[in-house]
Amino acid sequence: MKTFEPSRAMERLPSQFFAKLVKKVNGVKKHHDDVINLGQGNPDQPTPAHIVDKLKEAAENPMHHKYAPFAGHTFLKEAVAQYYLREYGVEIDAQTEVAVLGGAKTGLIELSQCLLNPEDLALVPDPGYPDYWSGVELAGAKMHMMPLIKELDFHPDFTTLKEETLEQAKLMFLNYPNNPTGAIATPALFQDAIELGQKHDLCIVHDFAYGAIGFEGKKPLSFLQLKGAKDVGVEVMTLSKTYNMAGWRVGFVVGNKSVVSAIEKLQDHLFCSIFGGIQEAAAHALLSDQQCVDDLVATYESRRNVLVEAAHKAGWEAEAPLGSFFAWFPVPKDYTSEEFADVLLEEARVVVAPGVGFGKYGEGYVRIGLLADEDTLREAMERIGALRLFDK
């Protein structure tokens, strides 16, 4: 059979680090049935029943058996606008400032296609969500990494960006609450980013996937709450984490009109939009009582507290995340993040994600998901503690 050579764009795509992790995990699972997987980012709770019921009802509507509008239904865009006004006090024009997405991942990759040329730079957080890299590579552009370090609360230091870098940059990715570090944003961080955007014609893309998940009574800040944000950027949200709708693949881009228009134009050529029944259920999720969200956040906060307490008991000195459903724990001395993750998998049968998979500055950490019940989290920390790796 003839083998066809892939395009140069396909060859530029980064190798999938976590595919290797999955292969390792599956190898251990062949011989053990007690593996605890804390390395994934897939919500473990079901979609709230009232949202599922709305989908069942909507699926029977013959209107949704036809093609949905390419740009998405107006009722979903209006629901997004109402959501932003209710949750953040931000006024959104539903017709010109909202684009419907088949999940935030899709939008984050598409934004690079819309905004970057081969000679351009994207400013990318390190550590960060690997699909930022994918979109930039598909666009044939280049990346300049912005280190996120503990001493700066895992915020980028914009003062280190050289003038020539800023002049070449056309796009900046930010993500708070942050994956993988669990850090949250401050108004000052967003205001500094807006000022850079205004001065250097730089589009700020804020990945707000974990926007609902903040702890200790602190509601995560939306980028669009800052004055001037819509002038220079957009925010990308998804229903995956807020409503346990990861498999439904629905999200949205909100903000700058020119960016929203560009992404809708690109999607006109790629998709025929999302099944209308899902769009109706998504609008219902955004507009209905939000007790299910409050309950979910309380669950994650309780799990966070259990995880950190159990880790300390095991001798693992780690700090609690302030947002997201991830914890970012340091590895013991004399181990790389991948070596440490391998030891935990092989000797404790606990899966964590090596920090280096999220970038150079992720080295020295592992990411742990709060996506298992409290007893399972305790058991995982007990198994790790029994290895006595933190006594050295």
Q: What is the pLDDT of residues 84-138, one digit of tens each?
A: 999 999 999 999 999 999 999 999 999 999 999 998 999 999 999 999 999 999 9
Higher-confidence residue of 333 and 295: namely: 295
Q: Which of 96, 89, 78, 46 is nearest to 280 (CA)?
A: 78
CA Rg value for the chain: 21
The H or E element containing residue 337 is helix 337-343
Distance of alpha carbon 59 from alpha carbon 63, whole angstroms: 9
Distance of alpha carbon 356 from alpha carbon 350, whole angstroms: 18
Q: How many CB atoms lie within 10 A of CB 378?
A: 18
Task: Look up residue 86 and give its DSSP letter.
Answer: H
pLDDT at res. 392: 62
* Alpha-carbon dihedral 51, 76, 98, 245, rounded to 10 degrees: 20
pLDDT at res. 23: 80
Q: Round to the nearest angstrom and report the end-to-end CA distance of the chain.
A: 55
Q: Which of 312, 320, 317 is nearest to 378 (CA)?
A: 312
Q: What's the mean per-residue pLDDT of the chain?
A: 94
Query: Sign of dihedral through CA atoms 93, 220, 42, 143?
Result: positive
Contact 230, 276 (CB under 8 A): no
pLDDT at res. 13: 81
- The mean pLDDT value for 36-65 works out to 94
Q: What are the CA-CA distances from residue 271 to residues 10, 13, 141, 243 (Å)? A: 20, 22, 24, 24
Give me the amino acid identity at 189.
L
pLDDT at 233 over 70: yes
Q: Which of 90, 74, 71 is nearest to 82 (CA)?
A: 90
Contact 251, 232 (CB under 8 A): no
Give me the amino acid identity at 82.
Q
Distance of alpha carbon 199 from alpha carbon 150, whole angstroms: 28
Backbone angles phi and psi of 336, in degrees to 5: -80, 165
- The mean pLDDT value for 189-201 works out to 97
pLDDT at 269 over 90: no
pLDDT at res. 222: 98
Contact 257, 92 (CB under 8 A): no
- The mean pLDDT value for 356-381 works out to 96
- The mean pLDDT value for 220-228 works out to 97
pLDDT at 176 over 80: yes
Q: How many CB atoms lie within 10 A of CB 60?
A: 9
Write out the two tokens for 31.
Answer: 């011989």
Q: Which of 312, 329, 331, 319 is nearest to 381 (CA)?
A: 312
* Nearby residues of 357 by Cβ (< 8 Å), 6 or more positions away: 17, 18, 21, 130, 337
Distance of alpha carbon 181 from alpha carbon 210, whole angstroms: 12
Give me the amino acid identity at 286.
L
pLDDT at 365 over 90: yes
Contact 298, 215 (CB under 8 A): no
Counted residue by residue, the chain has a size of 392
Domains of the chain plus CATH, in order, are 8-47+292-386 (3.90.1150.10), 50-287 (3.40.640.10)
Distance of alpha carbon 153 from alpha carbon 167, whole angstroms: 26
Q: Which of 149-153, 265-269, 372-376 has the lowest mean pLDDT?
A: 265-269
Write out the two tokens for 385.
Answer: 């503690």
pLDDT at res. 271: 85
* Nearby residues of 88 by Cβ (< 8 Å), 6 or more positions away: 222, 224, 225
Question: Which pTM value belongs to this model?
Answer: 0.95
Share of the chain above pLDDT 70, in %: 99
* Nearby residues of 342 by Cβ (< 8 Å), 6 or more positions away: 24
Backbone angles phi and psi of 236, in degrees to 5: -110, 125
